[in-house]
């Protein structure tokens, strides 16, 4: 097993390069992932921002839906940002939209407004330490319902915007567009913990 975890960024659309650069800065091996074969080489996967309906169609076209679900349900950490959180969610409020159903939340698309209502908000995230996180929201979803196994890590205007359910992390904002590495480092910690668990099981 490599000394550095290998984290993939789903490269079908969205903020791929920004996530790759941020992950490299945290010390991970980061690579763009475009095929189901590449999933087998990963210790963790990021689904970036973009357009969720298009992303699900592309996942279906490239036969990547089921392999991702199987890997995550067997313990591989997954992080969805903005669109990625919608893709990972159980369902989308008031819409018949396919998802991977890996995170027991109901999300509402574009809940914080359209592109011209994008904002940077100083967000309180205790899991990241006392300093507020400069969260960038762009056509961002919010969480309307969270299941009992979901931990709320941060909220804005009374709605969840960062959650975790075991090995699945969701953020409705874009940490990859900031110079603050803390959310990427948090996810890297999840990946390293999962790798340690695999080593212990194999011993």
13/63 Cα distance (integer angstroms): 16
The reply to whether 193 belongs to the active site is no
Angle at alpha carbon of residue 14, lines to 119 and 175, rounded to 5°: 45
Active-site annotation holds for 176: yes
Residue spans per domain, the chain: 6-202
Catalytic residue among 18, 65, 176, 184: 176
Q: Is the pLDDT of residue 111 over 50?
A: yes
Fold of 6-202: Rossmann fold (3.40.50)
Average pLDDT of the residues in 64-71: 96
- DSSP, collapsed to helix, strand or coil, labels residue 48 as coil
Of 19, 65, 82, 184, the catalytic one is: 82
Q: For 190-200, what is each residue's pLDDT tens digit?
A: 999 998 877 66
Mean pLDDT of the chain: 92
29-59, pLDDT tens digit by residue? Answer: 999 999 999 999 999 999 998 888 888 999 9
- Residue tagged 């590449």 (tokens): 38
90 among known catalytic residues:
no
Q: Which of 19, 174, 184, 192 is catalytic?
A: 174
CA distance 96 to 2: 41
Vertex 189: Cα angle to 185 and 192 (nearest 5): 130
* Averaged pLDDT, 151-177: 97
């Amino acid at each position: 097993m490599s000394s550095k975890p290998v984290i993939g960024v789903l490269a079908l659309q969205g903020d791929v390069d920004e996530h790759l650069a941020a992950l490299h800065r945290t010390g991970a091996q980061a690579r763009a992932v475009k095929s189901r074969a590449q999933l087998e080489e990963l210790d963790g996967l990021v689904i970036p921002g973009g357009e969720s309906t298009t992303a699900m169609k592309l996942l279906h076209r490239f036969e990547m839906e089921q392999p991702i679900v199987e890997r995550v349900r067997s313990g591989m950490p997954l992080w969805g940002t903005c669109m990625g959180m919608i893709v990972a969610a159980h369902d989308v409020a008031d819409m018949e939209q396919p998802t991977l159903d890996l995170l027991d939340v109901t999300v509402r698309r574009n809940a914080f407004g359209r592109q011209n209502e994008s904002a940077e908000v100083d967000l309180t995230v205790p899991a990241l330490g006392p300093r507020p996180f400069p969260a960038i929201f762009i056509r961002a979803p919010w969480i309307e319902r969270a299941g009992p196994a979901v931990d709320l890590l941060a909220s804005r205007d009374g709605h969840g915007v960062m959650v975790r359910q075991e090995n699945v992390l969701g953020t409705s904002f874009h940490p990859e567009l900031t110079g603050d590495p803390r959310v990427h480092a948090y996810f890297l910690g999840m990946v390293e913990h999962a790798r340690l668990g695999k080593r212990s099981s194999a011993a």
